[in-house]
Amino acid sequence: MTQHVYDDYFFDEPAYNTHDGGYVPLEVADAPESQLAIPPLLKPDKETDTDAWYTLEAQKGETQILPGAKTKTWGYNAPLLGTTLAFEVGKHIHVTLKNSLDELTTFHWHGLSVSGPYVDGGCHAPVYPGESKQIDFTLDQPAATTWLHAHPCPSTAEQVWHGLAAMVLVRDQHEASLPLPRTYGVDDIPLVLQDRRFHENNQWDYHADYDPDGVQGPTAMINGTVNPVFDVTTQKLRLRILDGANRREWRLHFSDDLEFTQIASDSSLLPEPVHFTHLMLTCAERAEIIVDFKNYKEGDTVTLFSDDVPIVKFRIHAFKPDNSVLPDHLIDIHAPKVLPTTPVRKIVMSGMDEQVAIDGKKFNMQRIDATQPIGLAQYWDVTNTNTMHGGMVHPFHVHGTQFLVISRNGGAPYPNEHGYKDTVGVNPGETVRLLVRFDLPGVYMYHCHIIEHEDGGMMAQIQTYDPNKPMPKYRLMDMETLTQAFAKERGVDPDTMWMAGMDSYKKMGMKM
């Protein structure tokens, strides 16, 4: 049987970020090649058969990214980005969240099914400087590549830009039973794709680079490395790719149009592997791909590009032949039944720049925008009302759940959207139907993952509840408290403090 190989990006070309007025094209960095940084796996403080304890510290540091001055960076247990976490499904995980920054932050588990709003780590769960908090959870979800990032509204974008983003691998027995590369750092490699602009003395300047449609920089930074090289010592590599950029879409392809196989998307394996030569990721999306270097030999180089700019070089070394065969079927996806009596939830993402909104409103921390009982499957029709002229693909993300993509404007989803996901790119003029079910009660945010849009108010929140119990009341944060805290921590007047997201509200004459 000949396998079909897809060679297009599927998303609507007129909506690519390249057509944006403020688009910053990637440039080849004027810097030497460096070994690709592989974040070490975080070891638990203590582990038993049933439980594991970890400590996560948000900290400031300095990182030698370019020759010359070190760059001031933030990270989790590391000066930049973080150590990689790996959690076993079914194990009871205890995490101490420690904030050693000078300002408040939150620890958001993007893609984990954990209870909201406190464990989930959105804006309602601040950890103030010098403080520690304890959380615990047990995961019941398929193996996946997820991530951890800061989420303190309205400063999520700036904190992620400083470096607060780390990979979180979810492992389960099913994934472990498949013939896939899984030796972390050898043939199982995280790739966090980001972009930055380096200013004087190699420093980042978020305010100077600010764009309400998303901050970009001309230099690709992969796992915190500029011009990275990875030494390939196995025939097959599994790349766990995360679009960890604030705004940038990545249109990935290899030299020689080398084919690769996508085996997983955001929240699970794909039911069937899908073969590509080109792959586009929008912000916060993940893809696990298998690259087979069987037609290459020691001394060869294979390059990964985004658009026409090289972003990672793979230097091929001698490797043993690997005759493992990828199964045709990787995971069973069970779409929960939707009752005919369950209404379709309609969600509208609209606007650009400061006008961004969901359902015509900007985010308000104290307002619950929707409710949904746990265990109930509901269709969510998510519409992007931008037009192809000047509009963009908005990556729609829901906290605390993994959804299925049912259709795009009534047609089939893209071939790599048949597994569970938590983020989906919605084209201008498009309605994407999702099948959404929550299993845990709580308050969860849903929003555009162009992080400046989220800070600018393209965000809402849903309360999920157990229909057999009284509706709990959650203590929700408010903007006044957070603004006052940020202003005090930064030693500035709250009325004149510059905070990117607040700018969008002010320019629209709105309060947060």
Q: Which stretch binds Cu ion (CB under 5 A): 25-33, 65-73, 338-346, 443-451?
A: 443-451
Total interface residues for Cu ion by CB under 5 A: 4
Q: Are 355 and 269 in contact (CB under 8 A)?
A: no
CA distance 227 to 219: 9
**Residue 1 CB contacts under 8 Å (≥ 6 apart), including other chains:** none
Whose Cβ is closer to Cu ion: residue 440's or residue 450's?
450
Does 247 engage in binding with Cu ion (CB under 5 A)?
no
Q: Which is nearer to Cu ion, 267 or 282 (CB)?
A: 282
Angle subtended at Cα 494 by Cα 488 and Cα 358, rounded to the nearest 5 degrees:
115
Residue nearest to Cu ion according to CB distances in the complex: 448
Name which of residues 360 to 419 contact Cu ion (CB under 5 A).
Answer: 394
Note whether 453 binds Cu ion by CB under 5 A. yes
> Applying CB under 5 A, which part among 259-267, 281-289, 319-327, 447-455 lies near Cu ion?
447-455
Of the residues 450, 460, 482, 512, which one makes contact with Cu ion according to CB under 5 A: 450
C-alpha pair distances (Å), 203 with each of 159, 225, 425, 490: 15, 15, 31, 19
Please count the other Cβ atoms lying within 10 Å of the Cβ belonging to residue 308: 10
User: Which residue stretch of 162-170, 287-295, 414-422, 441-449 sits at the interface with Cu ion (rule: CB under 5 A)?
Assistant: 441-449
Give the SS3 label for residue 37. coil
For Cu ion, the closer CB: 399 or 453: 453
Q: Quick check: 165 binds Cu ion (CB under 5 A)?
A: no
In the complex, least distance from residue 64 CB atom to Cu ion, rounded to whole angstroms = 34
How far is it, in rounded angstroms, from Cα 305 to Cα 210? Answer: 26
CB 342 within 8 A of CB 333: no
Nearest approach, Cβ of residue 368 and Cu ion (Å): 22
Instruction: Give yes or no for residue 451 binding Cu ion (CB under 5 A).
Output: no
d(CA 455, CA 457): 5
DSSP state of 258: -
| Residue from the set 279, 448, 451, 477 that interacts with Cu ion by CB under 5 A | 448
Selected range binding Cu ion among 86-94, 406-414, 449-457, 484-492, rule: CB under 5 A: 449-457
The identity of residue 7, as a single letter, is D
Q: Is 245 in the site for Cu ion (CB under 5 A)?
A: no
How many whole angstroms separate alpha carbon 254 and alpha carbon 222? 16
Shortest Cβ 391–Cu ion spacing (Å)? 10
Pairwise CA distance, residues 374 & 444, whole Å:
12
Supply the minimum distance, in Å, between the C-beta of residue 394 and Cu ion: 4
Q: Which residues bind Cu ion (CB under 5 A)?
A: 394, 448, 450, 453
